[in-house]
Amino acid sequence: MFIGAHMTINPLSSVPSRTLKIGGNTFQIFSQSPRMWRMNFNEKEVEKFREEMSKTGIDPTKVMIHASYLVNLASPKEEIWEKSKNRLKWELEVAHRMGLKYVNVHPGSRVGSSEDEAMERVARAISEVLKDSPQDVKLLLEIVSPKGGNIGYNFFQLKKMADMSGCEVEFTYDTCHGFDGGYDICSKDGMERLLEEIDKTVGMNKIAMCHLNDSKFPINVHKDRHERIGKGYIGREGFSNFFSYKVVHSIPMVLETPGGDEEHAEDIAVVKEIWSSLGISK
Ligand code: MN
Ligand code: MN
Ligand code: ZN
């Protein structure tokens, strides 16, 4: 089983060893500040990072970069759409130079346009970006919460965007976003509905990653507020139901829960407790 957390990069080269310290064996990072368009790259630090990756033995094919929050591949504003494509291209290039396999992105927000128009723009952006990006890095479309004009809040939409792009993209399931959009992973029925929808659309083998987050709000309220594992409306029992399905065991789990390394270590311990109670060997 693979588990880890979204790690701060202060500095980048500390991430692999801090991951082991909190009980993880994988992680997610931002390549730099996710709220600034400016792009920079510290070659020395990346070199050190790669050394630390081999020292710790963390498998880089289970690690992802989360693209900047500024990226909106669905934006109807030409300038933002162009900037978004450039930034995503750069994130893929950085992942390549870091030796990491995945870049995860939120498809985008329709900002007043229709969902169909938004999906069409996302698809076009993906095909333009991937056309001249490193082939060893995979792009992941993350399921989002159905709030604020977000597109990609179910697997029908994600599949449609992927198909229209004509590219081989894969997907990230986020347990908080899904819950926020009505996928009840706490119940048997809810889990079966989710797995059936995935089977009918993108296929389980295309779910490359999972963001493991509890939810501060009840199901289907469209708020997208992450909570620590076991402390929200999904709760230990909900995650216990989720992990009772073997098909999710091969997906790396990455926390995007509140707090820093200390809190993440506690949350990872909670997840491991759930696994042991289900007889799942790590
Ligand atoms: Mn995300
Ligand atoms: Mn997420
Ligand atoms: Zn979220």
Gap from CA of 176 to ligand 3 centroid (Å): 7
11 prior amide bond cis, ω within 30: yes
pLDDT digits (tens, 9 = 90+) for 151-173: 999 999 999 999 999 999 999 99
CA dihedral 76, 79, 84, 87 (to 10 degrees): 180
Instruction: Note the ligand closest to the C-alpha atom of 145.
Output: 3
**CATH number of 29's domain:** 3.20.20.150
Q: Does residue 152 sit within a domain?
A: yes
Rounded distance between C-alpha atoms, residue 218 and residue 213, angstroms:
13
Gap from CA of 35 to ligand 2 centroid (Å): 16
Instruction: Note the ligand closest to the C-alpha atom of 226.
Output: 3
Q: Does residue 61 sit within a domain?
A: yes
95: closest CA among 140, 57, 55?
140
Q: Does residue 15 sit within a domain?
A: yes
Gap from CA of 256 to ligand 3 centroid (Å): 8
Retrieve residue 216's tokens.
């501060």
Contacts of 70 by beta carbon, 8 Å cutoff, 6+ apart: 34, 35, 36, 37, 83, 84, 87
Contact 56, 48 (CB under 8 A): no
List the shell of residues around ion ligand 2, using CB closer than 5 Å: 174, 211, 256
Gap from CA of 172 to ligand 2 centroid (Å): 8
Q: Does residue 282 sit within a domain?
A: no
Gap from CA of 54 to ligand 2 centroid (Å): 27
DSSP state string for 96-143? HHHT--EEEE--EE-TTS-HHHHHHHHHHHHHHHHHTS-TTSEEEEEP
| Prediction pTM value | 0.98
Q: Does residue 43 sit within a domain?
A: yes
DSSP letter at 63? -
Instruction: Note the ligand closest to the C-alpha atom of 179.
Output: 3
In angstroms, the Cα distances linking 267 to 7, 40, 224, 239 are 14, 32, 19, 12
Contact 234, 185 (CB under 8 A): yes
In angstroms, the Cα distances linking 153 to 106, 109, 159, 182, 190 are 10, 11, 11, 10, 16
119: closest CA among 87, 89, 149, 80?
149
Could you say which residues of the chain have pLDDT below 50? Answer: none
Q: Does residue 216 sit within a domain?
A: yes
Structural domain range at position 126: 3-277
Instruction: State how many domains the chain has.
Output: 1
Retrieve residue 29's tokens.
């990072």
Instruction: Note the ligand closest to the C-alpha atom of 174.
Output: 2
Q: Does residue 106 sit within a domain?
A: yes
Retrieve residue 155's tokens.
């697997």
pLDDT at res. 281: 80
Q: How far apart are the first and last CA of the chain?
A: 5
Q: Does residue 202 sit within a domain?
A: yes
